[in-house]
């Protein structure tokens, strides 16, 4: 993988130019893309990058539900085969203002739901890359681009990051704008970022959100764990993890304790379990409206899993939706109270390693609650199972404390790399 901070350091010391960095990314795409299939569109004119800004020389892949002016926005669906965006989505405009170069559009599952893409996992091409941000995670994991943008409605940033072995952040709700992003659920959809390291995603998030405090100190994170309190969440309401995921969290706990941080078992408030069950109601009620035109006019062109979900979503009573929203509100308050007792919490990023099949995107059950309550989430790579496939661990924090989530994640990342 390519670290965007390494690219920027080389640009600063004069050993690389922004144009040279973009040319390297284009070359990497040429070599890896035939085997991975992470892109739906590549901009051949990207060799003329901006030479100023915090993300100068950084090539970005953008999930294909996000508008990029002059590029197609196909949304993984034949319904939009002839669609070309006339304007940049807000997050793309922010990336350009920061000096980044949009290299192309990355694959998405149709309308960012569960019907899989043809993208392959960069660690083993017979394994799922996850979804719905499959292309963004795989493009970073294969070393094609140092930064990619995705979105998460259930687990579509953290899960594919775990499967593809890359760092990722799903920030607090609405820190990054969704204007110009095809809506699935307006209460849940959240843009997120993929990169090689936690310092990389922290730097990029700081640049795009205009929140300098999110950058890690020295871009290296916290060295000592003496004052760090890490809660441990099992998310029992989501079901048991597979052995690989459990082993990854156990390894992280041992590494955290070895570096002096305090590990705190967390008793999960009952409101979290209720909200976990409510996520699907909120999502499905809203998508029945968000994709109303596609359903009413092109139902037969929708892929089977999405079509069935939309068939069922037409019948959700508004009273059930309102009750689910109230459950989410109670869970936000309960999580805020729980999070007062630790700096951030460690939990599973995914049920296990990527499924050994391209016919599934995996399961988002360890991600949904945190999307619903709008909490910042960070995937930390660093654990490989016996088959050599990556399994991430997840850090979550209180809403609005993305700084704590990123600093704790950087600490855990370093701890996992250090010998015990």
Q: Which of 3, 77, 128, 156 is catalytic?
A: 156
**In the block, which residue shows the tokens 């100068």?**
56
Asked whether 58 and 51 are in contact (CB, 8 A), the reply is no
And the tokens for 409?
Answer: 């994640």
Catalytic site includes residue 63: yes
Question: What is the SS3 assignment for 312-376?
Answer: HHCCCCHHHHHHHHHHHHHHHHHHHHHHHHCCEEEEECCCCCCCCCCCCCCCCCCCHHHHHCCCC
Intra-chain end-to-end CA distance of the chain, in Å? 25
Helix (H) or strand (E) holding 5: helix 4-12
Strands (E), 153-276: 167-170, 190-195, 229-232, 262-265
Catalytic site includes residue 156: yes
d(CA 275, CA 369): 7
- Core vs surface per residue 154-177: b (16+ CB within 10 A) or e: bbbbbbbbbbbbbbbbbbbbebbb
CA dihedral sign, ordered 188, 192, 194, 199? negative
**In the block, which residue shows the tokens 């661990």?**
393
- The helix-helix angle for 243-258 and 402-417 (nearest 10°) equals 90
Residues with Cβ within 8 Å of residue 115, at least 6 apart in sequence: 76, 109, 303, 304, 305, 306
Q: Which of 3, 132, 172, 350 is catalytic?
A: 132
List active site positions: 63, 132, 156
């Amino acid at each position: 993988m390519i670290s965007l901070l390494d690219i920027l350091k080389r640009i600063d010391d004069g050993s690389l130019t922004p144009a040279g960095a973009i040319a390297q990314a284009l070359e990497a795409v040429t070599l890896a893309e035939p085997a991975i299939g992470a892109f739906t569109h590549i901009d051949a004119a990207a060799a003329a990058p901006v030479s100023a800004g915090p993300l100068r020389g950084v090539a970005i892949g953008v999930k294909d539900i996000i508008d990029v002016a002059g590029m197609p926005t196909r949304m993984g669906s034949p319904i939009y085969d002839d669609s070309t965006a006339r304007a940049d989505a807000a997050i793309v405009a922010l990336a350009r203002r920061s000096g980044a170069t949009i290299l192309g559009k990355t694959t998405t599952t149709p309308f960012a739901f569960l019907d899989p893409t043809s993208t392959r996992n960069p660690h083993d091409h017979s394994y799922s890359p996850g979804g719905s941000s499959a292309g963004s995670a795989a493009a970073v994991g294969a070393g094609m681009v140092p930064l990619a943008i995705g979105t998460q409605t259930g687990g579509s940033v953290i899960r594919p990051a775990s499967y593809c072995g890359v760092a990722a952040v799903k920030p607090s709700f609405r820190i990054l704008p969704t204007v110009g992003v095809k809506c699935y659920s307006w209460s849940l959809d959240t843009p997120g970022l993929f990169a090689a390291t936690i310092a990389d995603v922290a730097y990029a998030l700081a640049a795009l959100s205009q929140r300098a405090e999110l950058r890690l100190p020295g871009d290296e994170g916290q060295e000592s764990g003496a004052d760090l309190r890490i809660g441990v969440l099992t998310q029992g309401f989501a079901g048991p993890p597979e052995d690989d995921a459990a082993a990854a969290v156990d390894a992280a706990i041992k590494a955290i304790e070895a570096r002096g941080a305090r590990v705190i078992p967390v008793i999960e408030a009952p409101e979290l379990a209720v909200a976990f069950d409510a996520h699907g109601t909120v999502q499905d009620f809203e998508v029945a409206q968000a994709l109303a035109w596609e359903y009413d006019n092109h139902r037969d062109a929708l892929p089977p899993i999405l079509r069935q979900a939309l068939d069922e979503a037409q019948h959700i009573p508004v009273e059930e939706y309102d009750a689910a929203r109230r459950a989410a509100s109670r869970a936000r308050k309960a999580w805020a109270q729980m999070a007062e007792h630790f700096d951030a919490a460690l939990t599973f990023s995914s049920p296990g390693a990527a499924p050994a099949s391209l016919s599934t995107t995996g399961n988002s059950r360890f991600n949904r609650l945190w999307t619903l309550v709008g909490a910042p989430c960070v995937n930390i790579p660093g654990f490989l199972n016996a088959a050599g496939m990556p399994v991430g661990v997840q850090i979550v924090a209180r809403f609005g404390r993305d700084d704590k989530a990123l600093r704790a994640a950087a600490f855990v990342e370093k701890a996992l790399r250090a010998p015990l």
